[in-house]
Amino acid sequence: MKIEEAIRKAKSLGLDLVEVAPNATPPVCRIVDYGKFRYDLSKQDKDKKSHAGKVKEIKFRVNIDQHDYFTKLRHAEDFLDKNNKVKIHLQFRGRELAHKELGMQLLSRVRADLQNMAHVDMEPKLIGRAISMTLSPLPVAKRKRKFLEEPETQTQAVLAKDNTAKRLFLFDIDGTLLASGGAGKSALRESMRTQFQVEEDFAGILLAGVTDGAIARALLTKQSLPVTPENITRLLDGYIVHLREQMSLHPGSLCPGILELLELLHSRSDCVLGLLTGNINRGAEIKLKHYGVWHYFEFGAFGDDHHNRNELGRFAKSRAREAHGIEFPSDLIYVIGDTPKDIDCGRAIGAHTVAIATGDYSSEELHKHKPDFLFEDLRDTKKVIRLLCDN
């Protein structure tokens, strides 16, 4: 239509001819009420401004449970559906900072779960004691919500999706996986000497089955030194420095059958391997890397998490849930250790207790504590697998 004809038609209708796409070929015009047209444009601008730039923050913890996780993701999808950006903020508390990799794993899981609703604006970044990540909503046509159900329904759906029941094996370290030849004890002695100028003889100090934090408290108490967080950290930091040296100076070895058992369990899709140890995380890594078995374990609960060993099981269960997205029932969890304290630790979470007489306690002594399974050692790996995995 020629422009003169369009103008005449607009006037005959009592309206205006407005150019709406000047860069098109040919330019595009509309016959409209110009006043209403301007009002609609200004309203659209206000709507865009009201939705643009809003950032909603959702806070997570490393050991968040499944129910809370799904609730928070449902809220994240609500925000994204309303064109808001979402900032995922994970705060570490206390010694949780020693497990930064678990925080990164959690944010990777959030990212994957929200991939049909958002893209990453800012990659996960550790700043101080927190990790943050920013997400922006996808175009409306590309969005697909995953967490519309109530958390209970969602949890059941995730559990039902995994048709193969997985077993969780939680291993102690000293006396169960390996014998360090006294390297740990020597490292503690050297730390007491260099950090506090004390010659420690360990008289009256129980080491077997005790967390590093509890040992540190006992050593400080024995020497009448203040049992403060600062002194405990000072002692354990010194211990780590000396442990690296002492591991090479003390002849040690993996316990009988351990390498074969780890290899077999690791190769099975229905088995998950973790650590449940009184060692602090850094100490556990040094010991297991020295003997080449650190890579078998996906996660762990450590002496950093709590000085009371019986509290460690819940940390291990939480990290297993975070790593695999499923809740491991107690009857499919096996706590493997060489001391009565390992047996007690397993019972604290209702797990099967597996005692191994490769440490300071004989099979007769362990038998008195009534573990569910008792082995002299783990040389007969086929028998161990049959009893623990194939029953």
pLDDT for 242-293, tens place per residue? 999 999 999 899 999 999 999 999 999 899 999 999 999 999 999 999 999 9
Longest dimension (CA), the chain: 107
Domain locations along the chain? 3-51, 55-161, 167-179+254-388, 183-249
The pair of three-digit structure tokens given for residue 2, joined into one six-digit string: 């020629």
**Is 167-179+254-388's fold the same as 183-249's?**
no
The pair of three-digit structure tokens given for residue 177, joined into one six-digit string: 């996986």
Q: Can you give the pLDDT at residue 2? A: 78
- In CATH, the number for domain 55-161 is 3.30.110.10
Query: Could you tell me if 84 and 143 are in contact, meaning their C-beta atoms sit under 8 angstroms apart?
Result: no
Q: Which of 2, 82, 63, 302 shows the shortest CA–CA distance to 170?
A: 302
Q: Which of 265, 286, 256 shows the shortest CA–CA distance to 357?
A: 256
Cα gap 213→235, rounded to integer Å: 10
Q: Can you give the pLDDT at residue 162? A: 46
Q: Can you give the pLDDT at residue 160? A: 47
Query: Could you tell me if 335 and 352 are in contact, meaning their C-beta atoms sit under 8 angstroms apart?
Result: yes
- Long-range contacts of residues 245-250, Cβ cutoff 8 Å, at least 24 apart: 245/187, 245/190, 246/183, 246/184, 246/186, 246/187, 246/190, 247/180, 247/183, 247/286, 247/287, 247/290, 248/290, 249/183, 249/186, 250/180, 250/181, 250/182, 250/183, 250/186
The correct CATH number of 167-179+254-388 out of 3.30.2400.10, 3.40.50.1000, 1.10.10.10, 3.40.640.10 is 3.40.50.1000
Cα gap 47→322, rounded to integer Å: 39
Q: Which residue stretches of the chain have pLDDT < 50? A: 51, 155, 158-163
Q: Can you give the pLDDT at residue 47? A: 56
CB atoms within 10 A of CB 341: 20
Tell me if the bond preceding 329 is cis, omega within 30° of 0: no
Query: Could you tell me if 356 and 336 are in contact, meaning their C-beta atoms sit under 8 angstroms apart?
Result: yes
The correct CATH number of 183-249 out of 3.30.1490, 1.20.58, 1.10.150, 3.30.70 is 1.10.150
CATH class for the domain made up of 3-51: alpha beta
